[in-house]
Structure 1
Amino acid sequence: MLTWIGYACGLCAAFAVCYTVAATVLLPRFFARPRAAPTQYPAVTVLKPLHGHEYALLENLEGFCAQDYPAPVQFLFGVHDRNDPALKTVEALRALHPQADIAVVIDSRLYGPNRKISNTVNMLPHARHDVLVFADSDVGVSAHYLRDVVGELQRPGVGLVTCAYRGQPDPGFWPRLSANATNYQFLPGVVVGLALGLAKPCFGQTIAMRRDTLEAIGGYLPFAHHLAEDHAIGEAVRATGQTVAIPPVAVTHACAETTFGQLVSHELRWSRTIRAVDPAGHLGSALTHPLPFALVALALAGGAAWSWALVAAALVVRLALKLQADRTLRQPCRDLWLLPLWDILSFAIFAASFGSTRVIWRGVSFEVDGKGLLYPVQDK
């Protein structure tokens, strides 16, 4: 029985090696696509819910204020608490960019367990313009970000624009390991899924839409009980008959986990969320892990030559994917030794995702149902 399990793991590893080769080829092609230039430049409101201190918050907010966009841009920042330390960063931003149209909304009202959605709902009445760009606080962008997003939104049939993202680690070991998860596992998976027509993503790092589209899906309030509110918003827009577009640009997402526990909790929450909203796709994602399957095959096959060859192939293709991703994303290539470490840890997190439907979000435990809805639970 163990021998046959070893053969099965070997087949899974071989498939995962082929997947990794495909991801290596498709990744640069995805970002080499032409960008859509705007035919006109409408005024834009950028809405950013804030919560607490973040290492690179000022730098990330500055990127939005330094846009090469020849039309009015309103910046709305929202917090629940007037003592939130993020407000000091907003004041520093005002001092650095006195010409920017910046407004702050302080409103403690909650409409469900998803506090980010409640924060956004509180900001929306203050949005003056009809093109709305929702972006998480930990997102960094280039100077052409709004041009790219607005140009894509003007394509026929497009109702929402979202952006793929890469990990930008804060200082420290654990943020660097977290960036490995984003850059060499998550992002290649998105690109392959899009190429094969298996993925219909929407990412909270950027959600841009027109006001009439937002009204057509009932605003943001219906998503106050969703953990993966970005996925639910994308599905709601598609249900109106419009498409969700992803331009060939990657914004940055701050990887800020400072401990092993924070990293595992974050990745486990993400993995269980995907399992809840797309169980078949989540199960199939097992075949994107060549190295763990190859190592299990090696152990069960008693060190047979073919199993050693699979381990070597897994290491080579994962290294090739990392080198290609770093080149495509124009980021320094470093920490090669972290890649196999993350590959093993990520597979363990994937396996653990089947053990429960409970997640921890901002220190609170929730159960996630098959629709991705959150239900607070009392820990014993």
Structure 2
Amino acid sequence: MLPLTLLAGGWLACAASIAAWAAIKPRVGAKGSLPSSTRVCIVRPCAGDEHGLGRALLSTAATSTTAQIEVRFAVAREDDPAFAVATDVARTLRAQGVDARVVLTGARGPNAKAEQLARALRGVACDVVLVADSDVDLAGADLDALLAPLSDERVAAVWAPPVEVEPETPADRASAAVLDASMHAFAVLGALDAGGMVGKLIALRSRDLAAVGGFGDLVECLGEDMELARRFRELGKAVRRVDLPARSLARGRTWSASVARYARWIAVIRAQRPALLASYPLVIAPTFPLVALSLAAAGIEGPRALGVGLGALAVRLFVAALARRRSGSRRTTSLAFDAVTSDALLWSSFVRALGTTRVTWRGVSLEITRGGVLRRGAR
């Protein structure tokens, strides 16, 4: 076997082995349970006129749980379009007997989400903080399954892998495919990387959160979820993933907006866990370069090299099917189409993340410095 073919074959073998390892990793079931006296504060940071905001916030009370819950909708200012929606929903939930309030936080960031959460939790006495982003549909969600791992005192946090359930634009569909038809699907990636956490839907033990400084200590950090996971590990605590999808209603995005979003995620890895950055081209989205390398090898070394390209395509379709099943997605889009669009989005985002340390987050220009620290208004 000649050098280019050998290189491509070795790369393919590595990617295929990791995909196989992800497939044989056992699914995560809920074990144990918290007592019904457990006090849970559900906090939903809100900003802007998001699609389905009212529906998502109303779903907060449409969950299954035996815990005692209170709900806080965090909004920065009264002139934020989310304020009126959150106020109406809180009123409706109170009429249903739920302790629901809107908290005006005055948050300015640079990590506005972390600041929203910190201010919304002031004066709240609870055993568990449950954070659900404002686009997450909780209707029918089994929160007891999310909370169950916290029955083990060694566990500080639990998270649910996000999926996008109502894509509308081509960019929406590509984004949904990243989350349910690629190696980047957190239901798959989370099985391989026990050190991560995605903050779309998380439950945190209150005293452990306080022990690592709380959300107030993360206002200048991009990727507060990953930083929390790191701090919990330093505390000697575990972070667990559960197989409960965090169903996002987000839609209506452009391609550039989707690229910017995933570039921010990759920027978090670049800043906080740089050793993992190479996993994007090597393991998470290797199909495009593998096919290109096999074609180049075939032109120089003969048609046998095309077998590597065919193998790469087969592995990619296997990963798409695995991710679709593990994520619990109900989308019926072609796996081949999802594989192409999700990899195109990931590569576009990867290149963008490598090319700049600046990100735009909810209209605010930020610069990422060493360790993921944010500076506002960088030029």
TM normalised by structure 2 equals: 0.88
Q: 1:190 to 1:72 in 2, by over 3 A?
A: closer
Q: 1:82 to 1:232 in 2, by over 3 A?
A: same
Residue range with higher mean Cα deviation, 268-277 or 182-191:
182-191
Cα displacement (A) at 1:180: 1.0
Query: Structure 2 counterpart of 1:324, which letter?
Result: L
- Structure 2: where are the runs of 5+ without partners? none
Distance 2:320 2:188 in 1: 14
Q: What is aligned with 1:23?
A: 22
| Alpha-carbon contact 2:198-2:225 (below 8 Å) kept | yes
Q: Look up the SS of the partner of 2:346 in the other structure.
A: helix
Distance 1:359 1:298 in 2: 35
Q: What is aligned with 1:150?
A: 147
Cα displacement (A) at 1:351: 3.8
Matches within 5 A, 1:317-336: 317-328=315-326, 329-336=328-335
Q: What is aligned with 1:363?
A: 363
Residue range with higher mean Cα deviation, 290-299 or 8-17:
8-17
Q: Look up the SS of the partner of 2:78 in the other structure.
A: coil
**Paired residue total:** 371
- Structure 1: where are the runs of 5+ without partners? none
Cα displacement (A) at 1:51: 0.2
Query: Structure 2 counterpart of 1:312, which letter?
Result: L
| Alpha-carbon contact 1:30-1:191 (below 8 Å) kept | no
| Alpha-carbon contact 2:71-2:99 (below 8 Å) kept | yes
Distance 1:173 1:284 in 2: 26
| Alpha-carbon contact 1:326-1:333 (below 8 Å) kept | no
1:79 is aligned to 2:75 = yes
Q: Look up the SS of the partner of 1:354 in the other structure.
A: helix
Highest RCO, 1 vs 2 (Cα 8 Å, sep ≥ 6):
1
1:63 is aligned to 2:59 = yes
Question: Which aligned segments of 4 or more residues in structure 1 are displaced greater than 6 angstroms?
Answer: none
Cα displacement (A) at 1:146: 2.1
2:177 maps to which of 177, 180, 186: 180
Q: 1:333 to 1:252 in 2, by over 3 A?
A: same
Q: What is aligned with 1:135?
A: 132
Q: Look up the SS of the partner of 1:334 in the other structure.
A: coil
Cα displacement (A) at 1:365: 2.9
Distance 2:88 2:237 in 1: 39
Q: What is aligned with 1:308?
A: 306
Distance 1:40 1:218 in 2: 27
Residue range with higher mean Cα deviation, 51-60 or 226-235:
51-60
Query: Structure 2 counterpart of 1:127, which letter?
Result: V
Q: Look up the SS of the partner of 1:331 in the other structure.
A: coil
Cα displacement (A) at 1:358: 2.3
1:249-287 per-position Cα deviation (integer Å, ceiling 9, x unaligned): 222234436211111111212112211111111113322
1:295 maps to which of 291, 303, 316: 291
1:138-162 per-position Cα deviation (integer Å, ceiling 9, x unaligned): 2223534321232211113112222
Q: Look up the SS of the partner of 2:372 in the other structure.
A: coil
Distance 1:313 1:155 in 2: 43
Matches within 5 A, 1:4-43: 4=3, 7-26=6-25, 29-31=26-28, 33-43=29-39
Cα displacement (A) at 1:207: 3.0
Cα displacement (A) at 1:76: 0.3
Q: What is aligned with 1:113?
A: 110
1:284 maps to which of 255, 266, 279: 279
Distance 1:105 1:34 in 2: 32
Q: 1:175 to 1:35 in 2, by over 3 A?
A: farther
Cα displacement (A) at 1:39: 4.2
Cα displacement (A) at 1:315: 2.1
| Alpha-carbon contact 2:182-2:319 (below 8 Å) kept | no
Distance 1:189 1:21 in 2: 16
Query: Structure 2 counterpart of 1:220, which letter?
Result: F
TM normalised by structure 1 equals: 0.87
Could you tell me the percent identity over the aligned residues?
25
Distance 1:293 1:10 in 2: 12
Q: Look up the SS of the partner of 2:366 in the other structure.
A: strand
